[in-house]
């Protein structure tokens, strides 16, 4: 049995993981959906990492799944506790000395998003298409009941690690995401991690749009790690 530790993206609470939680628990695993203090202006990356460490407690056999902005917290957790595998899910890939706020310009995100918006002919205020391109409508409606602010505080200070944590790492890319376009993320992952990302269908919230497929991918990673440690 593994313990899956799910790290949310910006302004997200544990609800967003509930379908994946059910999938993984049905397969016999422990699951921790971390609740980060994203709407607390006194909390930065250090406090986010503290919250993740506290949520894990004394659990073992950890597989950390970090989504979007959660890539900054997930990597810090890997530096604090023993982790068997880190899965970056449509995640921001930190670089030493760079803050989350600097990440956007450093990676060329704005141009990539502008080009994606032009391809999609997306209206600037159409957040539904931006984040929930293929999420079922009933889940989009439910998501609206879970508003969570995202403080700018964790965007201010640099990612504090000197190197990437010494943990086996996989990157899983949702190829239909309009917020982090696939072509953009392929480049960032290759440049910063030196690996080719794996790909699955899904928008920016694949835990809602394709929870079973996501669980299948995570389980394959776990089995691959067991067979080829």
Using one digit for the tens of pLDDT, what is the confidence trace for 165-198? Answer: 999 999 999 999 999 999 999 999 999 999 999 9
Instruction: Find the mean pLDDT for residues 84-107.
Output: 98
d(CA 91, CA 151): 18
Cα 228 to the center of its chain, rounded Å: 24
Whether pLDDT at 228 is above 80 = no
20 phi, psi to nearest 5 deg:
-70, -40
pLDDT band at 92 (very low <50, low <70, confident <90, very high): very high
According to the 3-state scheme, what is the secondary structure of the chain?
Answer: CCEEEEECCCCCCHHHHHHHHHHHHHCCCEEEECCCCCCCCCCCHHHHHHHHHHHHCCCCCEEEEEECCHHHHHHHHHHHCCCCEEEEECCCCCCCCCCHHHHHHHCCHHHHHHHHHHHHCCCCCCHHHHHCCCCCHHHHHHHCCCCCCCCCHHHCCCCCCCCCCCCCEEEEEECCCCCCCHHHHHHHHHHHHCCCCEEECCCCCHHHHCHHHHHHHHHHHHHHHHHCC
Share of the chain above pLDDT 70, in %: 100
d(CA 86, CA 5): 10
Q: Which of 9-13, 36-40, 128-132, 156-160 shows the lowest mean pLDDT across its residues?
A: 128-132
Whether pLDDT at 20 is above 90 = yes
d(CA 34, CA 137): 25
pLDDT band at 121 (very low <50, low <70, confident <90, very high): confident
Instruction: Please return the burial class of 42, using the count of CB atoms within 10 Å of its CB with bins 0-12, 13-18 and 19+.
Output: exposed
Instruction: Find the mean pLDDT for residues 43-68.
Output: 98
pLDDT band at 229 (very low <50, low <70, confident <90, very high): low
For the chain, domains (ranges, CATH) are 3-227 (3.40.50.1820)
8 A C-beta contact, residue 41 and residue 31: no
Structure pTM?
0.96
Q: How would you classify the pairing of strands 198-200 and 85-89?
A: unpaired
């Amino acid at each position: 049995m593994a313990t899956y530790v799910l790290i949310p993206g910006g302004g997200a609470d544990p609800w967003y993981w509930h379908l994946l939680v059910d999938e993984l628990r049905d397969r016999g695993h422990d699951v921790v959906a971390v609740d980060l203090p994203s709407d607390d202006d006194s909390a930065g990356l250090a406090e986010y990492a503290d919250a993740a460490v506290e949520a894990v407690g004394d659990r073992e056999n950890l597989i950390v799944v970090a989504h979007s902005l959660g890539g900054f917290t997930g990597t810090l957790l890997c530096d604090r506790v023993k982790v068997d595998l880190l899965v970056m899910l449509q995640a921001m890939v930190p670089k030493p000395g760079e803050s989350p706020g600097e990440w956007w310009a450093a990676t060329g995100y704005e141009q990539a998003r502008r080009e994606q918006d032009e391809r999609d002919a997306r209206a600037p205020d159409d957040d539904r298409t931006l984040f929930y391109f293929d999420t079922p409508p009933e889940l989009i409606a439910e998501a609206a009941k879970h508003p969570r602010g995202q403080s700018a505080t964790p965007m201010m200070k640099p990612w504090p690690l000197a190197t990437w944590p010494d943990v086996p790492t996989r990157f899983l890319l949702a190829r239909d995401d309009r917020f982090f376009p696939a072509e953009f993320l392929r480049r960032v992952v290759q440049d910063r991690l030196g690996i080719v990302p794996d790909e699955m269908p899904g928008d920016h919230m694949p835990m809602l749009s394709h929870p079973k497929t996501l669980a299948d991918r995570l389980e394959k990673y776990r089995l691959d790690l067991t067979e080829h440690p």
